[in-house]
Chains A and B, each alone.
Chain A
Amino acid sequence: MEVLQLLVSGISQGCVYGLIALGFVLIYKATEMVNFAQGDLMMLGAFFAYTYLNLMELHFLVALPLTIFTMAILGAFTERVMIRPMIGEPHFSVLMLTIGLGFILRAAAGAIWGNEPRSLDLPYAGGVIDLGGLIIGYENLVIVIGTAMLCTLLFLFFRFTRLGIAMQAASQNQLAAFYVGIPVKRIYSLVWAISAGISAVAGILVAPVSLIDPLIGFIGIKAFAAAIVGGFGSLPGAIVGGLIIGIVEQFAGLYLPTGFSDVSAYVILLVMLLIRPEGIFATMQQKKV
């Protein structure tokens, strides 16, 4: 039973990693840029939700879309102002840029909302389901269901909509996509908007589990590990990688000495990079000459 209980919390934690990883992967797939500030976007999403729910006391069903919308706008804005001038620059520069962006966002959040941990007034917080001794909190359940729904939506979007297919094309060959009339620049903004929207959802989902403060964005690093374990550039891989790391972390916390739980995500990452650097769902290929 204890194992099951750990599994449940591992899965729900893993879903959060997976969602942030999804944001990473989306941007990477479309633009081959790595957004290291993804975790901080999630933090910002959580703070916006806090503003709408706690401070403005809006209804949850109003606050949720409003948060996603705000973050999407912010994502597109970031792309327009910071990322677009960097198109054509080495990947490393963009990586550094987004690290810088993360620092800025953290300072900004600290300035606006303060550094004390906050909790969200969510309608479903606190409730539990008792499955014959196995206690599942509503918040964990919502995380899993929310993740599943979001993944389905994304899958349908990329498979069946014109826009989704155009995005895939732009991700494979910028110039070719441009020549066939795909508005590559607008697509980039859109990808950032979607990615920021997803992290807003992640932020709302994670809020009841861990309190919100400007530093929660750091779990973005673990999510990043998840994205790589799953095979960078693979959407299902991001979720699978997140689940692996979430579950292992829970078990390491119980069965291994203190400290191991904190580093287990990174150990998994390093082991993975050693034995199968291309990740579970490989998408990389050797450079052609």
Chain B
Amino acid sequence: MRFIRKTHYKQDIQLFKHEGQVFWYGLLAAGLLAAPFLLSDFYLGELSLVFIYAIAGIGLMLLTGYTGLVSLGHAAFLAIGAYTHAYFLAQGWPFLLSATTATLFTALIGGIVGIPALRMTGIYLAVATLAFAIIVEQVLVHWESVTGGFRGMAVELPAIGALALDGSFNFYFLCLAVLVVSLWLALNLLRSPTGRAMTAIRDSEISAQSMGIHLAYTKTTAFAISAGFTGLAGSLLAHKIGYLAPDSFTLLTSIQLLLMVVVGGLGSLHGVIYGAIFIGFLPQGIAVLRDTLPSGIAQIPGLEPGIFGLILVLVLIYEPLGIYGRWLKIRSYFEAFPLYRKAMHKRQRSYLRTERLR
């Protein structure tokens, strides 16, 4: 077990709490910077996709994991970010301006969606966001003058000034940089009053209010921030897939994003990363699985969503805290060895007592 001697309150608000963390994160950074020189184009592309998922995941995690508002419609924000970016690029806007506009525009839409969400909790909100996503999907199909309808629209190649960012090498660094900045912003938010207000709302709305937290304002802000991150991820995703069509942003995409934050571990940014890696490499895993399975089973259409569903169910039943939660348990097992007991991570359950009248 590690004991840290604290001599100043500053130590509790630093991003890295002790030298061990600095060392491990430094090693990770070195690895990520070296990766493009070691990996093939294919895996570089996959890693970029993981980074993009992670950025969107930060958005969803802030909303669902930290503010406690469930969204079943985050694919819509991904789509809005992607289409807005592609549209403005096609109008001849420079890359940075276009991506920023797409991010801010998505955040604005997120804020607007958040307003009716103020009066809803839990399941109502989840369904409202789902309805919103389905409506957005239909708009993408029918607003042909902007989105190209079913035909879709091509995305211009990314470039900042004269620097082309389209090759897998450059694009990798673009995604990595955006991810690092996004993480930094999210961490900052979480260690300041707004982030705490969000977690307060998650745990108890009524006492959050009594602590002077403006529910409507904080929830709308959370929605806007969440949508903003997801929109940013969308604008990168546009380049990754190169050609936008409505069927890239369906209910399945929304569920995939949720799966990512749940499997990774709700309420932690580590979880976002683990979840993104999981989601990013799952298709490869399934492809490998298909090769090894007898062809009768392997050829099942819809096998992939089915496996998604199965994993989701298993995680929720056996490890509701996700990969990150499992990692914490493993770590404390070794730290406390041989004193570890299961009860160290026992979770509290609450029993139903309804507030309904009938």
Contact = CB atoms under 8 A, between A and B. Distances in A.
Contact of B317 (A85, A102, A269): A85
Contacts of A224: 127
B164 interface: no
Interface stretch (A48-56, A104-112, A117-125): A104-112
Interface stretch (B181-189, B219-227, B294-302): B294-302
A175 interface: yes
Interface residues of B, number: 54
Contacts of B120: 273, 277
Contact of A32 (B205, B310, B354): B354
A228 B124 CA distance: 8
Nearest to A234: B358
Given A175-B353, A284-B356, A99 B127 contact: no
- The DSSP consensus for interface residues of chain B is helix
Nearest to B117: A273
Given A110-B302, A270-B128, A174 B352 contact: yes
A197 interface: no
Interface stretch (A90-98, A134-142, A146-154): A90-98
B303 interface: yes
Given A102-B309, A267-B135, A287-B355, A95 B126 contact: yes
B131 A107 contact: no
A107 B303 contact: yes
Interface residues of A, number: 61
Interface in A227-257: 228, 232-234, 257
Contacts of A182: none
A88 interface: yes
- The DSSP consensus for interface residues of chain A is helix
Given A82-B313, A91-B123, A173-B352, 12 more contacts: A32-B352, A93-B320, A96-B312, A103-B309, A106-B302, A263-B135, A269-B127, A273-B116, A284-B357, A285-B356, A287-B355, A289-B206
Interface of B: 64, 68, 70, 72, 116, 119-120, 122-124, 126-128, 130-132, 134-135, 138, 141-142, 205-207, 255, 258, 262, 297, 300-303, 305-313, 316-317, 320, 349-358
Interface of A: 31-32, 34, 82, 85-89, 91-93, 95-97, 99-104, 106-108, 110-111, 115, 171-175, 214, 221, 224-225, 228, 232-234, 257-259, 262-263, 265-267, 269-270, 273-274, 277, 282-289
